[in-house]
Amino acid sequence: MGIEREIKLALPAEQLSAATRWFVARTGAAGHPVALANIYFDTPVLTLARSKSALRLRHTPDGWLQTFKTAGEASAGMHSRHEWEMPIAGEALEIETLLQACDEPTVAAALRGAAPDLIELFRTNFTRTLWQVTSHDTTIEAAIDQGEVIAKVNGETRRAPILEVELELKSGDEAALHALADELRAHVPGLAPDNISKAQRGYRLREQQ
């Protein structure tokens, strides 16, 4: 198990170019774009959502990953949550492998109970442009995510845009994460802390009347 610590910032569309230019200037790199396709699962009665967790498959250029996250805490755009992630063979969940890795009994029990009834709920498809920011003993993965959430509800296809900055602490002092976010916001107007995860956006899209 790892604890994911990241700051998420909503990025206004008119500031996309400015944010990109700032990361290029800050790191001296053009940024590495990666296409990510994600499938989120839950039961029809949203068992996992009720237990404040999320389950997804992710297709990357290197293959498939399955990820199980708790909701954790989110405040002023800072997200801290437990995460279990592992490579898998293909586009199919490997629940038993995930359960063996999950060392939180309550969370594992919710997943085990939900497993027989899991269905696809929604997808998030986006391009993640990556930069690595290093300073002394701290490494931060900076990303701009641009794409959409897609949910099918009663034969209707619903879509919502994704446009955000994520700053994830890979190693070092959490204070450096906040300092980088403050530096970015000082140079790119309109960035705002975002406490809503992509999974939460998908659930909200399904619930719209």
HEC per residue, the chain: CEEEEEEEEECCHHHHHHHHHHHHHHHCCCCEEEEEEEEEEECCCCHHHHCCEEEEEEEECCEEEEEEEECCEEECCEEEEEEEEEEECCCCCCHHHHHHHCCCHHHHHHHHHHHHHCEEEEEEEEEEEEEEEEECCEEEEEEEEEEEEEEEECCEEEEEEEEEEEEEEEECCHHHHHHHHHHHHHHCCCCEECCCCHHHHHHHHHHCC
What pTM, to 2 d.p., does this model score? 0.89
Percent of the chain at pLDDT exceeding 70: 93
- The C-alpha atoms of residue 185 and residue 99 are separated, in whole angstroms, by 40
Q: Per mean pLDDT, which range of 95-99, 101-105, 191-195 is the poorest? A: 101-105
Indicate if the pLDDT at residue 173 is higher than 70: yes
Mean pLDDT for all residues in the chain: 91
pLDDT of residue 77: 53
pLDDT tens-digit readout, 23-78: 999 999 999 999 999 999 999 999 998 888 899 999 999 999 999 988 665 555 55
Among residues 74, 71, 67, 83, the alpha carbon closest in space to that of 3 is found at 83
- The C-alpha atoms of residue 157 and residue 106 are separated, in whole angstroms, by 34
Q: Which domains does the chain have, with CATH numbers?
A: 2-207 (2.40.320.10)
- Name which residue leads in pLDDT, 152 or 52: 152
* Residue 144 near residue 11 (C-beta atoms within 8 A): yes
pLDDT tens-digit readout, 70-88: 866 555 555 566 889 999 9
pLDDT of residue 180: 95
